[in-house]
Amino acid sequence: MELVVDNVSKLYQRKIWGLRSFSLKLGPGIIGLLGPNGAGKSTLMRILATITKPTKGTITWNGANIATSPNELRKVLGYLPQDFGVYPNLSAFEFLEYMAAIKGLDSPTARKRIDELLQVTNLFETRKRPLGSYSGGMKQRVGIAQALLNDPQLLIVDEPTVGLDPEERVRFHNLLSELSGQRIVILFTHIVSDAETTATKIALIHQGHLVKHTTPEVLLQTISNKVWEWIVPSTELPELKQRFLISGTNRRSDGVLVRVVSEESPSGHAQVVSPRLEDAYLYFIAADKNKERETQ
């Protein structure tokens, strides 16, 4: 299976581009599509989910253009938007029965599939409880279950861990990893840890265009020897934020442990440390911002 985004642009009113010449080729696995708010993630997601069409460019699913033949993708698509809503008076089983009917599953197939998914999402014991009594994490698992009813080959998940507590977030990461298998999973998020935990590939998006598409390992290798830490008095922190790309701070009894991404040593006291994915994310987004300024 293959999803190809070829030179896609999306123009909104007043000459606002949601996407600009965006290209990406995906195969089975989990891709973390990372970018700040307003980067174009939602625009791309809506196009891939066949909710809207691009202004320019094409997207093909196994060779079929999804703009002219959307049903080729829709029949194998699973979609969990961030604003996924549930009917609070329905039980999990009743809700999934309803969603299965909408997706055209016959009753025997639906019941078997629902039982399987309730087990996979660890909701079988609570399947008869009304959804209004579910926690945020449990509702997210119901959302994943409904997205998987048709056993999709392409699964699109939008900001899945926003509002979840740490334990529910870990459960969701584990579930997503287990579900990947022989399917394409696209995780749209601005939370770097979500992608770091589950993704086999990372795509960075900024200002509507693709900044980087590679493995987490390559991203980390690229900024090797460019991440520094040292302790400074808290009074120096505002000035450092003006001068350097700071990826983290940790207040201690002897000052503030500052983490900086820089081509060269930012201080005689700074020591090189192992990079994290968030360091790489900030580095490449900042570099893209600088490139934009230079071309204006």
pLDDT in tens, 260-286: 999 999 999 999 999 999 999 999 999
Residue extents of the structural domains in the chain: 3-88+144-214, 221-295
pLDDT at 267: 92
The rounded average pLDDT for each run of 10 residues, N- to C-terminus, in the chain (296 residues) is 95 88 94 91 94 95 93 90 82 93 89 92 92 88 89 90 78 80 89 88 95 95 96 93 94 94 94 95 92 72
- CB within 8 Å of 190: residues ≥ 6 apart: 34, 35, 36, 37, 39, 41, 159
Q: 3-88+144-214 — its CATH code?
A: 3.40.50.300
CA–CA distance, 223 with 8 (Å, rounded to integer): 29
Confidence (pTM)? 0.86
Q: What is the pLDDT of residue 264?
A: 94
Residue with tokens 């081509």: 263
Q: What is the DSSP string of 140-200?
A: HHHHHHHHTTT--SEEEEESTTTT--HHHHHHHHHHHHHHHTTSEEEEEES-HHHHHHH-S
Q: What is the 3-state secondary structure (H, E, C) of 128-146?
A: CCEHHHCCHHHHHHHHHHH
pLDDT of residue 296: 60
Beta-carbon contacts of 90 under 8 Å, excluding residues fewer than 6 positions away, are 98, 130, 131
**Cα–Cα distance measured from residue 7 to residue 289, given in angstroms and rounded to the nearest whole number:** 21
**Structure tokens of 37?**
């708010």
In sequence order, the β-bridge partners of residue 34 are 189, 204
pLDDT of residue 194: 85
Count of H helices and E strands in the chain? 10, 14
Q: What are the CA-CA distances from residue 249 to residues 36, 89, 192 (Å)? A: 20, 45, 17
| Spatial contact of 99 and 127, defined as CB atoms under 8 Å apart | no
